[in-house]
Chains A and B, each alone.
Chain A
């Protein structure tokens, strides 16, 4: 009798969430929302890791997730600080305003 969570579906879900995150990074103009999309992508990756960890019966996967979360926290802190600095410079959080690299 199959009673566990079908791991293939978990991987598929991870893929879907990941691509939704990419869509957000590519199309939204609000920097904060872009950043949140990046967090979504990280979560999708974590999900896949946990699934594989369960599949191979190996706890290293979960440790990896633990570290990923830690780093995500640090990254969000620094990233938001940059966003605040950018806001102070440009007066807006529209990512299209940050176009000094225009050739």
Chain B
């Protein structure tokens, strides 16, 4: 019973974090709001019993990806957004319209989908089962994922290299 209430609280918090990310003109503040949202999502993972994922979420997403964002913001020395006149004034209304549509559809679908409610509270998933699955059934994907990470790293280095002077 109290789980529902907790969930509601966390959910509202995550939505506020998302909205805050869009509302603020300062990019650093946007990052921080997103971090809030990510933490809330991690909490929800815990409530759903995926504790490994919750931890990975915090470490990788909040800990690495958002930090990377902050590095770039600082590298480019960005302050408050000062862009000048908006060339597309009606984009906001169009966007709200479309997104409203999508939200309505998704929520409607979500609330009407017939799902089995798990009645057992906070059943944690065994890490052993997860890793067994990872290293047997999804081994190829695992290897490819690590390859992608390598390629990504190489790509990034190549892309941000400054051309040699006089080359």
Would A and B touch once assembled, by the CB under 8 A criterion?
A: yes
Binding site for B on A (CB under 8 A): 1-24, 26-30, 32-33, 35-37, 39-40, 43, 46-47, 50-51, 53-55, 59-60, 62-63, 65-67, 69-78, 80-85, 87, 92-94, 96
Known pairs A5-B3, A76-B69, A84-B72 / 16 extra A-B pairs, C-beta < 8 Å? A3-B120, A4-B119, A9-B111, A15-B102, A15-B103, A18-B106, A19-B102, A19-B106, A22-B99, A36-B34, A39-B65, A55-B115, A60-B133, A62-B53, A63-B130, A76-B65
**Chain B hits for A71, CB < 8 A:** 145, 148
Interface size class, chain B: 35 or more
Taking a contact as CB atoms under 8 Å apart, the answer to whether B145 and A67 are in contact is: yes
22 sample A-B contacts, Cβ–Cβ < 8 Å, listed by A number: A2-B1, A2-B119, A4-B121, A5-B4, A5-B7, A5-B118, A6-B4, A7-B117, A11-B106, A13-B15, A22-B102, A26-B91, A30-B81, A33-B27, A36-B34, A46-B41, A54-B48, A59-B129, A72-B61, A73-B149, A77-B156, A96-B87
Set A7, A63, A75, A84: member contacting B75, Cβ < 8 A: A84
Bound form: Cα–Cα A7–B4 in Å: 10
Taking a contact as CB atoms under 8 Å apart, the answer to whether A20 and B121 are in contact is: no
Determine the residue in chain A with the shortest Cβ distance to B33.
A36
Taking a contact as CB atoms under 8 Å apart, the answer to whether A17 and B4 are in contact is: no
Bound form: Cα–Cα A87–B76 in Å: 8
Set B37, B76, B115, B142: member contacting A84, Cβ < 8 A: B76
Taking a contact as CB atoms under 8 Å apart, the answer to whether B21 and A24 are in contact is: yes
Cβ-based interface call for B95 (8 A): yes
Count of A-B residue pairs with CB < 8 Å: 248
For B115, B120, B121, B149, the residue with the greatest tally of chain A CB atoms inside 10 Å of its CB is: B115
For A10, A11, A54, the residue with the greatest tally of chain B CB atoms inside 10 Å of its CB is: A54
Determine the residue in chain B with the shortest Cβ distance to A61.
B50
Bound form: Cα–Cα A39–B68 in Å: 13
B84-109 with Cβ < 8 A to chain A: 86-88, 91-92, 94-96, 98-100, 102-103, 105-107, 109
Cβ-based interface call for B73 (8 A): yes
Bound form: Cα–Cα A63–B21 in Å: 28
Taking a contact as CB atoms under 8 Å apart, the answer to whether A14 and B106 are in contact is: yes
Determine the residue in chain A with the shortest Cβ distance to B8.
A9
**Chain A hits for B19, CB < 8 A:** 20
Taking a contact as CB atoms under 8 Å apart, the answer to whether A5 and B48 are in contact is: yes
